[in-house]
Amino acid sequence: MLHQERIPIGKLKQAYRLNEQDVQTLLSALLPGGVFPTDLWQKAYSSFWRGKILDYMALYNLDSPSFPLKLVCLSFPKIDLPPDSYYIEKCREMMHVLFVEVSSFLISDKIKNGLDYILEEAYETSNIIFEQERKKLFEKLTIEDKNFAVRFRSCTDAKQFIVTTEYKRRAVSYEYFSFLSKIFPDTIVVDKAPAILHLFKCGYPLRQEVKGISKAFVERITATPAAHLQLERITESPVIPPQEDTPGAPSASSIVVPRALWEGKSPEAVRDGMREKNFDDPIIAYVLSAWRKRSKTQIGRLLGPRGDNEHDSTSRARTSNLLDEAAAFTIITDGSSCVNY
């Protein structure tokens, strides 16, 4: 599932009726720190493709240092470029290459599951997006799955496996994959609150509620001073942000939750300790959800009236509202960047 503080461009386009020029202006405003071109693709890779790739790596010893010819997709691509418009174009190219290569040896059902995930996250209604092109691609891949099944089963070493994938790749022309470059811009993920604030300041009204962007959420975001500070931090900083594994210093608009308040503690202890330190409930809800992995029902009950035997749906609704409010802030812990634990 996509991080609750981020939103794909496809949904923003539907919510605000943005054209391509609007999107380019938005991306330019959010660079360098608020644009994540490969988030959805990496989640699809990890959730739907990586497991079978690992099986093949072990079976044929594909990752052996003694075997120089390797598949690009044995690891998710890392693009070491500054986060600018050229970086986004390079990401588009590399995701296309990744998808084509994975399609050369994984069966079509697994490939389809990953692409379906990407499209379902990127669009409010995904089944109509390049419907005919997707149908033709997976029909062709299914045919080649059958044509190459015997050859793959007869592979005895890494070299034979790689050669077979090359033959299958050539059997499916690039024309079948051409729509991928067209959908890529809509799959780019951005920080939700700064994106909404930018559109608000530029006079774009919310025209349609979509999953992750409700009228109430937009009203809360645009009315929160701290969120405006976050937009200024992201759009005005000329410094390239640290990579995922590099701890970053808190910004002026960051809310720092000491690790000692939540790490290894029970949900009740987290709630009580944070309230004692005057943290508001939206911040507590975020910590319990993102870092302690508690359900919305449990969080809602923990932060609701004590002793109240309320319905699960009421607890979940309370949590959703609190997490919506928390999305306006950058919440980090001491010694780490803003990531899920």
Do residues 49 and 183 share a domain?
yes
Among the residue ranges 25-29, 120-124, 177-181, 333-337, the one predicted with the least confidence is 333-337
In a domain, 235, yes or no: no
pLDDT digits (tens, 9 = 90+) for 228-247: 545 554 444 433 333 333 33
How far is the C-alpha of 31 from the C-alpha of 190, rounded, in Å?
9
Do residues 45 and 181 share a domain?
yes
SS3 string, the chain, reads CCCCCEEEHHHHHHHHCCCHHHHHHHHHHHCCCCEECCHHHHHHHHHHHHHHHHHHHHHHCCCCCCCCCCCHHHCCCCCCCCCCHHHHHHHHHHHHHHHHHHHCCCCHHHHHHHHHHHHHHHCCCCCCCCHHHHHHHHHHHHHHHHHHHHHHHCCCCHHHHHHHHHHHHHHCCHHHHCHHHHHHHHHCEEEHHHHHHHHHHCCCCCCCCECCECHHHHHHHHCCHHHHHHHHHHHHCCCCCCCCCCCCCCCCCEEEECHHHCCCCCHHHHHHHHHHCCCCHHHHHHHHHHHCCCCHHHHHHHHCCCCCCCCHHHHHHHHHHHHHHHCCCEEEECCCCCCCC
Given this model, what pLDDT does residue 242 score?
35
Q: Is the pLDDT of residue 328 over 90?
A: no
Do residues 246 and 162 share a domain?
no
Residue 220 binned pLDDT confidence (cut-offs 50, 70, 90): confident
Residue 253 binned pLDDT confidence (cut-offs 50, 70, 90): very low
Cα 258 to chain centroid distance, Å, stands at 26
Split into its structural domains, the chain has a count of: 2
Given this model, what pLDDT does residue 22 score?
92
Do residues 266 and 333 share a domain?
yes
In a domain, 1, yes or no: no
Do residues 144 and 268 share a domain?
no
How far is the C-alpha of 148 from the C-alpha of 167, rounded, in Å?
9
The mean pLDDT of the chain is 83
In a domain, 237, yes or no: no
Do residues 164 and 290 share a domain?
no
In a domain, 206, yes or no: no
pLDDT digits (tens, 9 = 90+) for 119-156: 999 998 888 899 999 999 999 999 999 999 999 999 98
Span 309-316, mean pLDDT? 77
What's the burial of 88, exposed, middle or buried (CB within 10 Å: 0-12/13-18/19+)?
buried
Q: Sign of the CA dihedral 54, 55, 58, 64?
A: negative
Do residues 149 and 43 share a domain?
yes
Given this model, what pLDDT does residue 68 score?
66
Q: Which of 187, 202, 225 is a domain's end point?
A: 187
How far is the C-alpha of 263 from the C-alpha of 333, rounded, in Å?
10
Given this model, what pLDDT does residue 230 score?
52
Given this model, what pLDDT does residue 3 score?
63
In a domain, 202, yes or no: no
In a domain, 216, yes or no: no
Among the residue ranges 164-178, 265-279, 318-332, the one predicted with the least confidence is 318-332
Do residues 167 and 43 share a domain?
yes
Do residues 249 and 177 share a domain?
no
Do residues 56 and 177 share a domain?
yes
Given this model, what pLDDT does residue 254 score?
60
Q: Is the pLDDT of residue 226 over 70?
A: no
Span 268-287, mean pLDDT? 89
Q: Is the pLDDT of residue 248 over 80?
A: no
Q: What is the pTM of this model?
A: 0.66
User: Residue 299 phi/psi, 5° resolution?
Assistant: -65, -45
Query: By residue range, what is the domain housing residue 42?
Result: 38-187
In a domain, 33, yes or no: no
Given this model, what pLDDT does residue 243 score?
37
Cα 22 to chain centroid distance, Å, stands at 21
Given this model, what pLDDT does residue 292 score?
86
Q: Is the pLDDT of residue 70 over 80?
A: no
Nearest to 29 by CA among 183, 181, 191: 191
pLDDT digits (tens, 9 = 90+) for 24-60: 999 988 887 889 999 999 999 999 999 999 898 888 8
Given this model, what pLDDT does residue 115 score?
96
Q: Which of 161, 187, 213 is a domain's end point?
A: 187
Do residues 173 and 255 share a domain?
no
Given this model, what pLDDT does residue 256 score?
82
- Asked if 37 and 9 count as a contact pair (C-beta separation under 8 A), the reply is no
- Asked if 318 and 269 count as a contact pair (C-beta separation under 8 A), the reply is no
Do residues 177 and 266 share a domain?
no
In a domain, 120, yes or no: yes
Residue 331 binned pLDDT confidence (cut-offs 50, 70, 90): confident
Share of the chain above pLDDT 70, in %: 84
Q: Which of 187, 202, 233 is a domain's end point?
A: 187
Given this model, what pLDDT does residue 2 score?
59
Among the residue ranges 60-69, 92-101, 223-232, 275-284, the one predicted with the least confidence is 223-232
Strand partners, 210: 213
Asked if the peptide bond before residue 32 counts as cis, ω within 30 degrees of 0, the response is yes
